Amino acid sequence: MKRLIAEALGTFVLVAGGCGSAVLSAAFPQLGNGFLGVALAFGLSVLVMAYAVGHISGGHFNPAVTLGLVAGGRFPAAQAIPYILAQLAGGIAAGAVLWLIASGRGEFSAAASGFAANGYGAHSPGGFSLQAGMISEVVMTAIFLIVIMGATSERAPKGFAPIAIGLALTLIHLVTIPVTNTSVNPARSTAVALFQGDWALSQLWMFWLMPVIGGVVGGVIYRSLEDKAA
């Protein structure tokens, strides 16, 4: 139970910090933090929570990471569903808190603003197609898993894994925010799609399927590299 609470808490902070930055401050008049600020907010959220509770639960905060670690032989399959449910609970709770805060502005509308939801086609920030979004989510999630598994390897320098993982997530956002608003995390996508409540829900399938495929691919790739190195 402590592990599940840690996963829920970590995912809560990830959504509150990353999506909160996108919804509340990215385009704030004259002082907006823009894409760079949002990318840093996601990376820093993972970094600080990996240090805070990673030693309790492993610091997944992401269903694609959990399933990728299962595929990579780093996590027992029997624990995957409870972890994913905890991540979803934490993410949705953060989405609700963020919605309550954002609703403090009289003209706010989650449906009209997009509420930091992930999208493709007409709902991609840069107008990128479904195919482009699928490739982006698979490749970037696979890279994310390779970094996670490499940074947490027994042969990696100790104590630096959260830094590498946080910077990797920052880099991924810097590249792909224009493509899909960057998911690589089904819990993050679900947490805001539920409150956007319109097109985000109809496109949510892609932000489950592609990150999970990418996570599994990344886990398998790193596992093969690690086996060969051993």
Is it the case that residue 30 has pLDDT exceeding 90? no
* Candidate from 124-133, 155-164, 186-195 with smallest mean pLDDT: 155-164
* Alpha-carbon span 175 to 155, nearest angstrom: 29
| CB-count burial class (<10 Å; 0-12, 13-18, 19+) for 15 | buried
Is it the case that residue 29 has pLDDT exceeding 90? no
Mean pLDDT of 25-32: 77
* Alpha-carbon span 146 to 159, nearest angstrom: 18
Mean pLDDT of 141-163: 95
Using pLDDT thresholds of 50, 70 and 90, give the confidence band for residue 16: very high
Phi/psi region, residue 184 (left: phi>0; alpha: psi -120 to 50; beta: rest), is left
Please state, as a whole number, how many other Cβ atoms lie within 10 Å of the Cβ of residue 23.
Answer: 24
Q: How many CA atoms lie within 13 A of 191 on its CB side?
A: 36
Tokens of 97: 């808190």
